[in-house]
């Protein structure tokens, strides 16, 4: 560690720390490679993030309690290693940071994990003001292109631009960004992104728009579930009636037990079999013969006899 670095670190401490009291290490925060979500930071976004991340504390997991905030970034810069290019042929650029941890009994373990390479991959939390479509260059939320789809031989990706805040970074167990072994998460707006975020798991932050979208989705699913439940109830009612004709020895509680764990497909199958059996036994049900119902399940029992 040179004198400059020690000075930079001591800007954040309440008393001057000596080199012996500090452990420093380098990390790659993020880069301009297209990640598996088909998103990438713009080079200018990385430049701006290099300023925003200075002074930001890092946590060892996604639990943002003070006692987990073990490391602080004191230096951050972009770098482009010679001869490295992104998958789509741009000059590769990454955001490298230097961070320090005060040496203490409490930090022994995390220092050991960093030195041994167990803690290596980093996830960053930042907010971006702009998301640009790589195909048409306009605001990604307003164009019709879909990230990951290919248009005239060009794969659409979302360019994350104009970062407004860098609020945290943390070590993670599983990297999401393929090339650098680095993952990222940040505030996103549209529905597709919410699904991605939910799939990623861990601790996530949702904006007001995203909360609204989630609430709408929940209402839609609740409605669908209610329809499904009504359909199941109709099927079960029919099955009980048909069973009374086709299998009179079968007690109703036994039937309930059998059907309780059946899904709609199995219930439909049972309904069909009981219908066939019942129509053999009791081939005429004149009052229902003309009824054409709109139900989704097989009602041949009523219509064909």
Specify whether the CB–CB gap between 31 and 182 falls below 8 A: yes
Give the separation between CA 136 and CA 132, rounded to whole angstroms.
8
In the complex, minimum distance from the CB of residue 188 to Zn ion, in angstroms, rounded to a whole number: 17
Q: Which SS3 state, helix, strand or coil, does residue 273 take?
A: helix
Which residue, among 259, 252, 258, 251, has the nearest Cα to 234 in the 3D structure?
Answer: 259
Q: Which is nearer to Zn ion, 145 or 234 (CB)?
A: 145
Q: Which is nearer to Zn ion, 123 or 134 (CB)?
A: 134
The angle at the Cα of 212, spanning 208 to 213, to the nearest 5 degrees, equals 115
Q: Which is nearer to Zn ion, 152 or 287 (CB)?
A: 152
In the complex, minimum distance from the CB of residue 101 to Zn ion, in angstroms, rounded to a whole number: 43
Under rule CB under 5 A, residue 146 binds Zn ion: no
Q: Which SS3 state, helix, strand or coil, does residue 302 take?
A: helix
In the complex, minimum distance from the CB of residue 146 to Zn ion, in angstroms, rounded to a whole number: 9
Give the count of residues interacting with Zn ion (CB under 5 A). Answer: 5
Which residue, among 144, 167, 158, 118, has the nearest Cα to 36 in the 3D structure?
Answer: 158
Q: Which stretch binds Zn ion (CB under 5 A): 4-12, 89-97, 143-151, 283-291?
A: 143-151
Residue with tokens 């989704």: 296
In the complex, minimum distance from the CB of residue 131 to Zn ion, in angstroms, rounded to a whole number: 11
Give the separation between CA 203 and CA 172, rounded to whole angstroms.
11
Q: Which is nearer to Zn ion, 142 or 261 (CB)?
A: 142
In the complex, minimum distance from the CB of residue 246 to Zn ion, in angstroms, rounded to a whole number: 59
How far from 129 is each of 139, 160, 177, CA to CA, in Å? Answer: 11, 8, 21
Q: Which SS3 state, helix, strand or coil, does residue 31 take?
A: strand
Helix (H) or strand (E) holding 37: none
- Residues 103-142: x where in contact with Zn ion by CB under 5 A, - otherwise, as a string: ------------------------------x-xx------
Among 143, 258, 262, 305, binds Zn ion (CB under 5 A): 143
Among 90, 120, 145, 234, binds Zn ion (CB under 5 A): 145
Give the separation between CA 222 and CA 297, rounded to whole angstroms.
21
In the complex, minimum distance from the CB of residue 138 to Zn ion, in angstroms, rounded to a whole number: 6
User: Which positions lie near Zn ion, rule CB under 5 A?
Assistant: 133, 135-136, 143, 145
């Amino acid at each position: 560690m040179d004198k400059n670095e020690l000075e930079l670190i001591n800007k954040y401490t309440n008393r001057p720390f000596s080199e012996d009291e500090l452990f420093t290490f380098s990390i790659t925060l993020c880069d301009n490679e297209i990640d598996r979500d088909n998103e990438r930071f713009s080079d200018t976004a990385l430049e701006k993030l290099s300023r925003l991340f200075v002074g930001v504390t890092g946590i060892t997991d996604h639990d943002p309690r003070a006692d987990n905030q073990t490391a602080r970034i004191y230096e951050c810069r972009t770098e482009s290693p010679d001869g490295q290019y992104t998958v789509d042929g741009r000059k590769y650029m990454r955001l490298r940071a230097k961070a320090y941890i005060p040496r203490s009994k409490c930090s022994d373990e995390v220092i050991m994990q960093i030195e041994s390479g167990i803690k290596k991959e980093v996830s960053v939390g930042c907010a971006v003001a702009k998301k640009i479509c790589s195909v048409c260059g306009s605001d990604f939320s307003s164009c019709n292109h879909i990230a990951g789809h290919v248009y005239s031989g060009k794969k659409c990706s979302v360019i994350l631009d104009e970062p407004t805040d860098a609020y945290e970074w943390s070590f993670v167990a599983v990297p999401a960004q393929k090339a650098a072994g680095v993952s990222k998460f940040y505030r996103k707006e549209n529905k597709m992104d919410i699904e991605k975020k939910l799939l990623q798991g861990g601790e996530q932050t949702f904006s007001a728009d995203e909360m609204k979208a989630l609430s709408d989705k929940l209402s839609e699913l609740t409605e669908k579930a209610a329809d499904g439940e009504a359909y199941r109830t109709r099927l079960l009612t029919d099955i009980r009636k048909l069973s009374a004709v086709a299998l009179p020895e079968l007690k109703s509680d036994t039937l309930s037990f059998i059907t309780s764990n059946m899904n709609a497909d199995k219930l439909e199958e049972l309904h069909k079999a009981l219908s066939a059996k019942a129509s053999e036994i009791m081939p005429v049900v004149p009052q229902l013969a003309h009824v054409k119902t709109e139900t989704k399940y097989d009602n041949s029992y009523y219509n064909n006899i």
